[in-house]
Chain A
Amino acid sequence: MKAIVVGCGRVGSAVAQQLLASGWDVTVLDENEDALGRLGDSWNGGFVVGHGMDLTLLREAGIEEADAVVVTTNGDNTNLVIAQAAQKHFEVPTVIVRVLDPARAQFYATKGLQIVCPTAAAIETLVSAVRHAEDEVPA
């Protein structure tokens, strides 16, 4: 199975490493060459340097044969646009995209994109932790 990870920050690099460890063929794309360092010395997956909006580069990374694309650059809008290209243009079966803004995440989720919103998850966890503390307080 082949996966492309666009954006090699903390999240992207860890996702790439874990997928590779579980037997996936993984190619990572990042505009900063130094991001390769995040993947560790033992990295033997693919790495392509360039902007994720570059369709030629996405092809070079093998997006046409990919079973899954994970989009985790540091820009919500960039992520949303690349994810839609992966889904509509390259027809990748599984496209997962990170979006930090809960409002945009919610809207694009209604348009068939598989979205992970860490902000929404954090809000939920924080609120439920506080509510839990409330329950613990003796009356």
Chain B
Amino acid sequence: MYVLIAGGGKVGANLIRSLLRAGHEVTLIEQKPYRFDKLEAEFEHQVIRGDATELFVLERAGITRPPDLLVAATGDDEDNIVICQLARERYGVGNVIARINDPRNQAYFDLLGISPTVSATGAIMGLIEHEVPEHGLVQLLELRKENLEIVEVTVDKGANCHGKRIRALQLPDGARLISVVRAGKAEIPDEETQLEIGDQVLAILEPGKEDELRRALL
């Protein structure tokens, strides 16, 4: 696979190292001279110096081939957005991955259809939520293209659904329970499955139905 990486900070530098080790062809673009010098010493001609939001720099790095994947991993969210837009819309790159530095900018990536995105803060928040769920629902997976998400709910004492069969729950339209993990064993539930304290329930739903689902279960 041919991968183009924009940004040679900690993320970009470790990505090129890992991808090369896995046998891929990689080109990395880095703008800052002091970073470039270090990277060039390690990766030689596989690193190009320049601003990855400049078309001629992207072209020098081989974007017209086009690469199988472009990773926009600079420390600037606006740059990452523009790099992804240029890659996809001007050069026909099929797959892009964007790094989000400031999670408040997530809305811009969503608005402009840039996905998937990776945000360190978002990832850590996800882990915190998973360990210490504040509001009952933990988002496990977002299927943006399909407009669906998978969430996890733990049935605690006092939960609405405790002791009820699934058919008796007022689940919102567009939400379905897909798995019940009980004592470490996952089962696919049916209408007759009765929910118990300690059950971890996985549900698939349309984004925006979280509150209705929470009310039905908790």
> What residues make up the interface of A, taking CB atoms closer than 8 Å to B?
53-55, 75-78, 80-81, 84-85, 88-89, 101, 103-104, 107, 111
Contact = CB atoms under 8 A, between A and B. Distances in A.
B108 A81 contact: yes
B118 interface: no
Given A103-B56, A104-B53, A104-B55, A89 B111 contact: yes
Contact of B108 (A85, A101, A107): A85
A14 B54 CA distance: 28
A50 B86 CA distance: 28
26 contacts: A53-B77, A53-B78, A54-B104, A75-B78, A76-B53, A77-B76, A77-B78, A77-B79, A77-B82, A80-B78, A81-B77, A81-B82, A84-B111, A84-B112, A85-B108, A88-B111, A89-B111, A101-B53, A103-B54, A103-B55, A104-B55, A104-B82, A107-B55, A107-B86, A107-B89, A107-B90
Nearest to B90: A107
Contacts of A80: 78, 81-82
B105 interface: yes
A105 B125 CA distance: 37
Given A81-B82, A81-B112, A84-B111, 7 more contacts: A53-B77, A53-B78, A77-B82, A81-B108, A85-B108, A104-B54, A104-B82
A121 to B, nearest CB: 19
A101 B112 contact: no
Contacts of B55: 103-104, 107
A77 B105 contact: no
Q: Which of A77, A88, A103 has the most CB of B within 10 A?
A: A77
Contacts of A107: 55, 86, 89-90
Given A104-B53, A107-B55, A81 B81 contact: yes
Interface string B47-64: 000000111100000000
Contacts of B111: 84-85, 88-89
Question: Most chain-A CB neighbours within 10 Å: which of B53, B54, B89?
Answer: B53
B41 interface: no
Q: Which of B78, B81, B89, B107 has the most CB of A within 10 A?
A: B78
